[in-house]
Amino acid sequence: MAAASPLRSLEDEVLCPICLDYLRDPVTIDCGHVFCYHCIIKVCEAARQPLCCSLCKTAFKKENLRRVWQLASLVENIWRMKVDEESQPQEERAPEQRAETICRQHLEKLHYYCKDDQQLLCVMCRESREHRHHAAVLLEKAAQPYRSKVLNHLKVLKGDRDRIQTFQSTRDHKIQALLAKFQRHRQDIVSVFEQSHQFLREREQYLLAWLEGLEQDLTEGRNSQVSKSAEEVTRLGSLISELEKKARESALDLLQDPPDVKSKYPRKKYWIEKPISSAIKKRTEEFSDKLLSLEKGLRSFHGKLMRDLEFKRIRIVLNTQTANGFLSVSPNGKSMIFTGLWMNKYQHGQRFDPEPGVLGNKGFTWGKVYWEVKVDRIWWGAEEEAAAMGYRSGVRGVFGSSYLAEFMGISDGYSATGYGNDMERLEEEWPPENGMWSKFCLVGVARESVVRRGFLNFTPEEGFWTLQLSSAGVCICTGAEPFQILSSCPRQIGVALNYDGGKVTFINARTHELIYEFSSSFTGRIFPFLWLNCMRSRLTLSP
């Protein structure tokens, strides 16, 4: 490898300036330059007088040509060295040596390219009969189009590389900016929560101090009363002892010195105070009110944070194919009412029957999602409720046309088309319980695989996680009998489903207070679920 550079230098010294090949039968002219004998003879024959050197343009005479035998021997040795080098394995040669090839037929350097045969040619090949009439050009000229294509493609690739590098730079800049923003957010979160913790600690200390003051006042009042009571009991004990002693004296002694009992043994008025003073009672009631306000505020705070930070609000639309025939779903699928008329002539395999229930159009198998249900006109007055129950148990029943004629005006664009014996059958199957309706509406979620035929138990064991809403308040269905948890019915219920965490949380969407939370282990797809059997009521989904 080290010999590559010296050999190349020697080659340059023994090349003929005319044929650009190794000197063959070298001769020198008057100026001293050396050429191949045949090359210089051809120049002499083709040129006019006087003859001039091709290199320095010095005039020379043909008869003054002199052979250079020592140079001929040197050319032969260099040529043999070149041949030996070309015969070496390809991997042992230097890159420059591998690039230059020798004509295998004439052992000449390849200087030309035959366009017709697409072959590399030496000088001898170009002058041969096979290629003499072909279009042969120098290698550099032949390679120029390909070199241009390479350079153009190289330019394209460099452009791609520059664009990628620019993209990487922009991406890194944006990522660093976003990471810096995340760091600021982290600091903001720590700061906000620290301020909140400090605020809550101060409020905690305030309430504890208030409670401690109440305890201290109550203890001091009790101690004062105990001290006063003890003194009076001691005084009365002394008087009682003296009187008991006096009572045991003989009649003669008592008559000799008849005592003035009331003046000698006076009875003082002793005011028995209340165990707890009015002032302490009043302060205790104020404290209880503030504690209730604290609990309500924290429930609202928890509900709002859970809804806004953890859950994704989703748009729910009711699936009309699952809606019971007595339910009328709005055209946009966002609300429904109980009509009392059979709205669907054709049964569907997914429909609830006879339960007036409906599922949402979208089920969930993962994630945290939130939606709200607005409840309208579920809190009837006593007169309206009594009238409704009267219609319910009357001859025509709640499904009668006289009842509908009075209330269909509030249907808000809903329409009912005909009814038959199914209404009378359903009226008999839903008798009033203890003179009242069993439910007004249910809001919650249901498993996709729940039974949809016949009467159902809306419990978690059956695949339902719901709140029962009525004019009497809110109940939960976890067993055979509903359990009341609120005495009033919220106007808007928020439903938060945490599928992976196995929780269904209900929130008062207007006050953000937590109402109730079910804990379970979900399997299969979970759908929003609504149930309504109350005239003059509407359930509306949002957003």
CA atoms of 254 and 175, how far apart (whole Å): 111
Q: Are 114 and 132 in contact (CB under 8 A)?
A: no
Q: Are 168 and 154 in contact (CB under 8 A)?
A: no
Q: Report the half-sphere exposure of 301 (CA within 13 A, side-chain side).
A: 8
Is 32 exposed, middle or buried, given 0-12, 13-18 or 19+ CB atoms closer than 10 A?
A: exposed
Q: Determine which helix (DSSP H) or strand (DSSP E) holds 469, and give its type and residue range.
A: strand 464-470
- pLDDT at res. 403: 31
Q: Are 4 and 94 in contact (CB under 8 A)?
A: yes
Write the DSSP assignment of 280-322 as a string of letters. HHHHHHHHHHHHHHHHHHHHHHHHHHIIIII-EE----B-GGG
3-state SS assignment for residue 263: helix
Of 513, 28, 79, 7, nearest to 306 (Cα)?
A: 513
At 56, list the tokens: 């320095």
List alpha helices for 306-381, DSSP H.
Answer: none
Q: Are 308 and 295 in contact (CB under 8 A)?
A: no
Q: pLDDT 10s per residue in the chain (543 long)?
A: 444 456 666 777 788 888 877 888 889 988 888 888 888 888 888 777 788 887 788 888 888 888 888 887 788 788 777 767 666 655 555 544 444 577 877 777 888 889 888 888 888 888 787 887 888 888 888 888 888 899 999 999 999 999 999 999 999 999 999 999 999 999 998 998 898 889 888 888 988 998 888 888 888 888 877 888 888 888 888 888 888 887 887 777 777 766 677 677 677 766 666 777 788 888 888 888 888 888 888 877 877 777 778 899 999 999 999 998 889 999 999 999 988 787 765 667 788 988 899 999 999 999 999 999 999 875 444 444 443 344 333 322 333 333 333 333 333 333 333 333 433 333 333 333 333 344 589 999 999 999 988 888 899 999 999 999 988 889 998 877 788 998 888 989 999 999 999 999 999 998 888 899 999 999 899 999 999 988 778 999 988
Could you give all domains of the chain from N- to C-terminal order, each with its CATH number? 4-100 (3.30.40.10), 142-275 (no CATH), 312-542 (2.60.120.920)
| pTM, rounded to two decimals | 0.51
Of 303, 327, 315, nearest to 530 (Cα)?
A: 327
Beta bridge partners of 447: 526
Q: Tokens 């600690």 label which residue? A: 201
- pLDDT at res. 438: 47
Q: Are 536 and 527 in contact (CB under 8 A)?
A: no
At 388, list the tokens: 């409704």
At 214, list the tokens: 């109440």
3-state SS assignment for residue 395: coil
Beta pairing class for 368-376 and 312-313: parallel
- pLDDT at res. 300: 78
Of 520, 530, 537, nearest to 470 (Cα)?
A: 537
